Chains A and B, each alone.
Chain A
Amino acid sequence: MLKTHGHLSDDRLIALCLDGADAREAAHCPACQQRYAEFAALLADAHVTAVADADAAFPAERLERQHARILQRLEQDGRPGRVIAFPRHTREGQAWRSRPDTRWMAAAAAAGLVIGLLAGHATQTVPRGAIATVVATDTAPPGFRAVPTAFSEDEFLGQVEMAADSPGGTDLRSLHDLTPRAWEVR
């Protein structure tokens, strides 16, 4: 008998409640009897509450439905799986005719290809030189003339000197004075 300070321990009282042993063991002490009654009431209340909650959640109608559903699933469980036939077409042409949009898509793709080829051919027939001339003519600002680039550095610098000495180059005179001569640098 487990006792603490002359009283039965909680475990002993719980065991008395659970095992249905003779409760006279706790009857000698009012305090132990009170605690025993509390444990017994707790267990009884918990049992009643849990059972009532579950029974309210599962009334007879729901249990009947559950029973029927279980039997239905058992019956389905024993059957072999139903094989669904793969859809097949009787004639190949039917599948093509049943989807008219595909014809328009094919026609549009072919037309796009033809237009692309024609456009490419048309651009290649125009001579490249003509295009370059047009571009050069259009982009060159007025007052400038084309300078051939197939001469040496000395010739180029000489032409710059001559241009600076010419009467039309007075505007560049001040800049010319600041610039060292080619022969002075050498």
Chain B
Amino acid sequence: MARTPSRLARPSAGDRLASPPALSKDSQVAAEVKALIVAGEREAARERFAELVGLQQRRASRIAFAYLRDVHDADEAVQDAFLKVFTHITSYREELPFEVWFTRVLVNGCLDLRKARSRRWRWSLPMAPDAEAVACDPPSTDPSPEDRLLSGDRAQEIRAAVQQLPDRQRTVFTLCQMSEQSTTEVSQALGLSEATVRVHLFRAIRKLRCLLER
């Protein structure tokens, strides 16, 4: 269950002074898609974009599900985000990581969906839990430590505690936990300063600990 904490590490002074890091594969593919669109080769751009979708799809689904806690809403948010990115690919700046830009589009879409859902729930009657959503609970047949964690009360407590976090704290915590991004990248994705992101993240973790100690 070892976590790779280095993904949240801040870049050192030496890193900042060094030449800009090479673009990730996702960013390279996004730059190619943009070039194809600019050249008017829409069909080829679509085929190339399909590869980009495959690279980002799993991560996007995790982020959207962590935000929305609903399979259908998360599916819709991911689809809409990819469509929006393809539509506006000409505004993508190649010097920035594609993951950051895409995460920003996806998170904004998730927030819009959550607002729409809260408006919808205001006027609707409570319904029985969705069978598919219930089925989302992970199976407990595998005796691995992860499954022992997930099948126990601990996982349920963690889910409940994360849901009790204030919106901003939950957003930052979810992104840092799910998107495998550093606080610098999360700050770029959310349009906040890195110091603000770290403050929200620290508060979220402290509050989670308090909630789980009860």
Contacts and interface: CB of A to CB of B under 8 A. Distances in A.
B8 A19 contact: yes
29 contacts: A11-B202, A18-B5, A20-B4, A20-B9, A38-B209, A41-B1, A45-B1, A45-B149, A45-B158, A48-B1, A48-B150, A49-B150, A49-B155, A53-B65, A56-B137, A56-B138, A57-B65, A57-B136, A58-B62, A62-B71, A63-B61, A67-B53, A67-B57, A70-B79, A71-B53, A74-B82, A74-B83, A77-B83, A77-B87
Contacts of B54: 67
Nearest to A75: B46
A55 B142 CA distance: 15
Interface string A61-73: 0110011011101
Interface string B52-95: 01100110011001100001001100110011001100000000
Contacts of B82: 70, 74
A73 B138 contact: no
B154 interface: yes
Contacts of B178: 47, 50-51, 54
B194 to A, nearest CB: 12
A56 B87 CA distance: 30
B66 A78 contact: no
Interface of A: 10-11, 14-15, 17-20, 38-58, 62-63, 66-67, 69-71, 73-75, 77-78
Contacts, number: 143
A20 B9 CA distance: 7
A66 B80 CA distance: 11
Nearest to B209: A42
A14 B150 contact: no
B66 A50 contact: yes
Interface string B119-139: 000000000000001001111
Interface residues of B, number: 56
Main DSSP-derived SS at the B contact region? helix
Contacts of A19: 5, 8-10
B205 A42 contact: yes
Contact of B208 (A42, A47, A58): A42
A69 B174 CA distance: 26
Contacts of B65: 53-54, 57-58
Nearest to B71: A57
A10 to B, nearest CB: 6
A78 B46 contact: yes
Nearest to A19: B9
A126 B53 CA distance: 91
